Structures are given as structure tokens and as C-alpha cells.
């Protein structure tokens, strides 16, 4: 790989005798991996587990496979998986993923939360937030709100709110050179310092949102000390209530430069790409927040009845949370969110479906989020029918069923809802997601 001379000189100085093997690692193949999704009811045995991780596996996943399309697996390289693993939120927490696209850390945080608490998943880029929304929807979580905002705007709405903030900062991307060689063209010797200045600006706003006693996980996909240890030192100097927590060094993680508590991942030590992680604790005593103006459900009586009729007929569970409509669309948000009227929202919680004239039609997202035992009737597709359905075709069943809405399932996990008429499964797979296997 043709690396910039300034980059080579820099890491020869930083790494000394290890520099040659470090630089040689750029000519090796990038390491691929994925995680399994514990929110899905039907699991599978996957090989080649990443040691000391709850859901990680080495290997590649096809974007057209049923495992991927139903959200059972999510592609994410091993070093990136360590960030949310360090964060490891407990159930019921209020969590912010501040720079969340494309969704790897968000979906991993959701795995820990297990459909409890609140995750606000934010991405300032509108284009990147669309990818984030798609990945969140496929994962099937019910307790997540996707926002499309600056940290400054979020701080005005979520003051002292979050128990945990994860910030994977926009960085010089050195750790991604092997995976994405195009990233090299943006690198120059002053780039890490420029990125560090931006990271500090965002972190200043993040600290306004951290609740007393909360935790901050700061990460980058670079090795530059300017963006890593120097930013952590800046945090400790400017926010005296913060203390640095030690990170267990697993699978070849290395101590930081001058900060043994933080973790560095180099490809010549750790089987993965480049990553840096720091774990900080707010030492202020936890306190009860003043009463916030929480969201409340907003449905007309006729809409309430249409939803109730659908839920009574098709679901075995009662979905708790805040029900809100936007136009004819019905959404379910987690309890405890503040007023969101001044926040740009990319995904307003779980999309339940659409009110149409005198009826309610369930959404694709709802069929992904519900497990088979939470739905009264479902249709299991064979592999052949799965590929027909995801390419936009109707499916013909061997036996006719009573007409109505059914959860479509593949290998036991949901793939949306569809209307069945006799032996015909009409196609409700979203047009924008359809693909051919040819």
C-alpha cells in the first residue's frame, strides 16, 4: 500500500522497533466480521467466534442472505465491535450514540439494552442518517429514536439527560486505510490536529448532555495521538468531574501512549482494523432530574380504535410506550423522552403502520421487530420463496389460509407483514430494498 511519507515517518517515531511490522500489516487483507442479534427469537450456531465477545464472529455475511435481511446478523469489523463492548449499557439506561452512522455501534448498544430504556441514535449527515435508519429498522429494536441534528441542538433538548454517551468521533481515519484505501487521499500531516479541534467542539456539547454519574465512551478509528490521548487529556483538564476508567485489554489490545487506561488496536497485535477507545466516568453524585416535559400519546379516537382492533386480532402482546401520529403514519416511541418539537427526526421510534380509510395496515418495520410468539399468525417462507419475495414477486402457498395479515418469516424470524388471500401471499416487501439473486 502506498502510504504517505509523513505518515510512515510519524509511526516510525511513535512505534520504534514495531514500526516495520505495523507498516507491513497494511499489505495484508482487511479482517471481516459480524455480530449476531440477540433480539431475534430464533438464533443459529455460527462458527469462528471472536474471543471474549458476546456476539462477535469472524467472517463475511452476504447482504442478500436471509440472516442479514431479517436482521439476525450485522457486518462489523472486530476492532469497531470493541467500542460498544466497552460501553456495555445495562437495561433501562438512557443512551446517546452521538455520531452513529452507519449503525454498527447503535445496533450493538441496542443488543445490550434488550428493548428497554432509550437509545437516541444521532447522525448529523442527512445522507448517512438514511443508511442508519435502514440498519436500525432491520435490527428490529423498539426503544430507539434516530435524530439528524448537530450536537449543539441536541444539547438544548437533552440537558443532563443521558446515563451513557458513546461518541465515535469524526477522525483522520488512519485505522481504515487497509479497509478503505481511498481514505489515504484525504490524509495530510495536519489533518489529525484539524480533526481533534472538531472532536473537542462536539465533546463540549456532549458533556452538557451527560447526567451526573454518567459515563462517556470516546473512540476514533485512528492511531493519531492528537485525536486520541491528547483529546482525552483535554477532557480531563477541562471537565474536572471526569475520571478515566481502565479498559480490560483483550485480544491483543494495547495500552495508550502515556495513558495505560485507554485501549489501542493495531492490526499487527489485534485481529482487526485500527481503533482507539477511552472510558470516562462522571464523578458527580447521581441526582434526580427535575420534571421534564415528557412526550404524550397523540391519537384521535378513531385511530385508537383502528390500532386496537388490529392489535387485538393479530398480536399477543401489548406494546408499551408513547403512540404518536405524523400524518397517517403511526409510531411508537419509548417512554421518558423530552419534547422533541425542535429536533430533526430521521426515524420517530418504531413505525407501526399506516391509517387508511377505515383500516390500519401494519408496517414492514413492525413485522421485523416482533417475534413469532408475539404475533397470532405467520407464514414461513422456504429459501426459494424467500428469494422470490425479496425480488418483488408474489408467493403461492401449498395450502390456502384464511384471508388477512400475516407476519412473513424466514428461518423463524420476521420479514415484515403481508396480506394473504387464499393461497397467495401478496408482496409487501419495500420496493427500495428488493434485489435479484442473478
Q: pLDDT-derived band of residue 223, with 50, 70 and 90 as boundaries?
A: very high
- What are the pLDDT digits (tens) for 358-389? 999 999 999 999 999 999 999 999 999 999 99
State yes or no: 38 annotated in a binding site. Answer: no
Work out the mean pLDDT of the chain and round it to a whole number: 96
Q: What is the mean pLDDT of residues 232-257?
A: 98
Rounded CA separation 395/393 (Å)? 6
Q: pLDDT-derived band of residue 437, with 50, 70 and 90 as boundaries?
A: confident
- What are the pLDDT digits (tens) for 402-422? 999 999 999 999 999 999 999
- What are the pLDDT digits (tens) for 16-51? 999 999 999 999 999 999 999 999 999 999 999 999
Q: Confirm whether pTM is higher than 0.95.
A: yes
State yes or no: 293 annotated in a binding site. Answer: no
The CATH architecture one would assign to domain 377-438 is: Roll (2.30)
State yes or no: 102 annotated in a binding site. Answer: yes
Q: What is the mean pLDDT of residues 383-398?
A: 96
Domain ranges of the chain: 5-282, 293-343+353-375, 377-438
State yes or no: 404 annotated in a binding site. Answer: no
State yes or no: 99 annotated in a binding site. Answer: yes
Q: What is the 3-state secondary structure (H, E, C) of 83-136?
A: HHHHHCCCCCCEEEECCCCCCHHHHHHHHHHCCCCEEEEECCCHHHHHHHHHHH
| Phi and psi at residue 433, to the nearest 5° | -105, -10
- Check whether 291 has a pLDDT greater than 60: no
Catalytic residue, chosen from 184, 216, 221, 415, is 221
Q: pLDDT-derived band of residue 292, with 50, 70 and 90 as boundaries?
A: low
Check if 221 is active-site.
yes
State yes or no: 104 annotated in a binding site. Answer: yes
- What are the pLDDT digits (tens) for 84-124? 999 999 999 999 999 999 999 999 999 999 999 999 999 99
Rounded CA separation 423/401 (Å)? 6
DSSP state of 341: T
Q: pLDDT-derived band of residue 287, with 50, 70 and 90 as boundaries?
A: confident
State yes or no: 422 annotated in a binding site. Answer: no
Superfamily name with CATH number, domain 5-282: Vaccinia Virus protein VP39 (3.40.50.150)
Rounded CA separation 73/55 (Å)? 9
Residue 33 burial (CB count, 10 A): 24
The stretches of 360-434 forming alpha helices (DSSP H) are 364-369, 383-390
Rounded CA separation 315/21 (Å)? 57
- Check whether 298 has a pLDDT greater than 90: no
- Check whether 83 has a pLDDT greater than 90: yes
Q: Are 64 and 410 in contact (CB under 8 A)?
A: no
Burial class (CB in 10 A: 0-12, 13-18, 19+), 395: buried
- What are the pLDDT digits (tens) for 130-177? 999 999 999 999 999 999 999 999 999 999 999 999 999 999 999 999
Residues ≥6 apart with Cβ < 8 Å to 48: 57, 58, 59
Rounded CA separation 40/245 (Å)? 32
Q: Are 206 and 153 in contact (CB under 8 A)?
A: no
Q: Which residues in 316-327 are b (16+ Cβ under 10 Å) and which e? A: eeebebbbbbee
Query: What is the DSSP annotation of 38-53?
Result: TTSSS----SSBPTT-
CA dihedral 172, 272, 233, 208 (to 10 degrees): 80
* Chain centroid offset of residue 279 CA: 19
Rounded CA separation 420/399 (Å)? 11
Q: What is the pLDDT of residue 296?
A: 78
Per DSSP, the three-state class of 330 is strand
Per DSSP, the three-state class of 333 is strand
Q: What is the pLDDT of residue 289?
A: 58
- Check whether 290 has a pLDDT greater than 60: no
State yes or no: 100 annotated in a binding site. Answer: yes
Q: What is the mean pLDDT of residues 420-432?
A: 97
| Phi and psi at residue 98, to the nearest 5° | -80, -30
Q: Residue 337 is placed in which grid cell?
A: 423522552
Q: What is the pLDDT of residue 318?
A: 96
Nearest residue to 157 (alpha-carbon basis) of 339, 324, 349, 336: 339
State yes or no: 312 annotated in a binding site. Answer: no
Rounded CA separation 5/68 (Å)? 40
Amino acid at each position: 500500500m502506498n502510504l504517505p511519507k509523513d505518515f510512515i515517518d510519524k509511526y516510525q517515531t511513535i512505534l520504534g522497533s514495531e514500526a516495520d511490522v505495523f507498516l507491513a500489516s497494511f499489505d495484508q487483507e482487511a479482517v471481516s466480521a459480524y455480530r449476531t442479534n440477540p433480539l431475534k427469537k430464533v438464533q443459529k450456531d455460527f462458527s469462528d467466534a471472536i474471543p471474549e465477545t458476546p456476539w462477535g464472529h469472524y467472517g463475511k455475511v452476504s447482504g442478500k442472505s436471509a440472516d442479514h435481511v431479517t436482521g439476525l446478523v450485522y457486518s462489523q469489523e472486530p476492532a469497531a465491535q470493541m467500542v460498544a463492548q466497552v460501553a456495555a449499557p445495562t437495561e433501562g439506561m438512557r443512551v446517546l450514540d452521538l455520531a452513529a452512522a452507519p449503525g454498527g455501534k447503535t445496533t450493538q448498544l441496542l443488543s445490550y439494552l434488550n428493548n428497554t430504556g432509550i437509545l437516541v441514535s444521532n447522525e448529523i449527515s442527512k445522507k448517512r442518517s438514511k443508511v442508519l435508519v435502514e440498519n436500525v429498522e432491520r435490527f428490529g429494536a423498539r426503544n430507539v429514536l434516530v435524530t439528524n441534528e448537530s450536537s449543539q441542538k441536541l444539547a438544548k433538548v437533552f440537558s443532563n439527560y443521558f446515563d451513557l454517551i458513546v461518541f465515535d468521533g469524526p477522525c483522520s481515519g488512519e485505522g481504515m486505510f487497509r479497509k478503505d484505501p481511498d481514505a489515504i487521499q484525504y490524509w495530510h500531516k495536519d489533518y489529525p490536529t484539524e480533526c481533534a479541534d472538531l472532536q473537542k467542539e462536539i465533546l463540549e456539547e456532549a458533556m452538557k448532555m451527560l447526567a451526573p454519574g454518567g459515563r462517556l465512551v470516546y473512540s476514533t478509528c485512528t492511531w493519531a495521538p492528537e485525536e486520541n490521548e491528547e483529546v482525552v487529556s483535554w477532557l480531563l483538564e477541562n471537565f474536572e468531574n471526569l475520571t478515566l476508567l481502565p479498559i480490560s485489554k483483550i485480544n491483543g489490545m494495547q495500552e495508550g501512549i502515556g495513558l495505560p487506561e485507554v485501549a489501542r488496536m493495531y492490526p499487527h497485535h489485534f485481529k482487526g482494523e485500527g481503533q482507539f477507545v477511552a472510558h470516562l466516568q462522571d464523578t458527580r453524585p447521581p441526582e434526580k432530574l427535575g420534571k421534564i416535559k415528557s412526550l404524550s400519546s397523540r391519537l384521535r379516537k378513531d385511530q385508537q380504535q383502528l390500532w386496537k382492533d388490529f392489535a387485538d386480532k393479530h398480536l399477543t402482546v401489548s406494546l408499551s410506550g408513547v403512540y404518536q401520529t405524523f400524518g397517517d403514519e403511526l409510531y411508537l416511541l419509548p417512554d421518558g423522552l423530552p419534547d422533541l418539537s425542535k429536533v430533526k427526526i430521521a426515524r420517530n421510534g418504531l413505525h407501526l403502520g399506516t391509517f387508511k380509510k377505515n383500516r390500519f395496515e401494519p408496517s414492514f418495520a413492525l413485522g421485523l421487530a416482533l417475534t413469532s410468539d408475539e404475533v397470532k399468525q405467520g407464514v414461513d417462507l422456504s429459501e426459494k420463496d424467500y428469494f422470490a419475495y425479496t425480488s418483488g414477486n408474489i408467493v403461492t402457498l401449498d395450502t390456502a389460509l384464511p384471508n388477512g395479515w400475516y407476519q412473513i418469516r424466514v428461518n423463524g424470524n420476521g420479514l415484515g407483514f403481508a396480506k394473504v388471500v387464499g393461497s397467495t401471499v401478496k408482496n409487501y416487501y419495500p420496493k427500495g430494498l428488493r434485489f435479484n439473486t442473478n
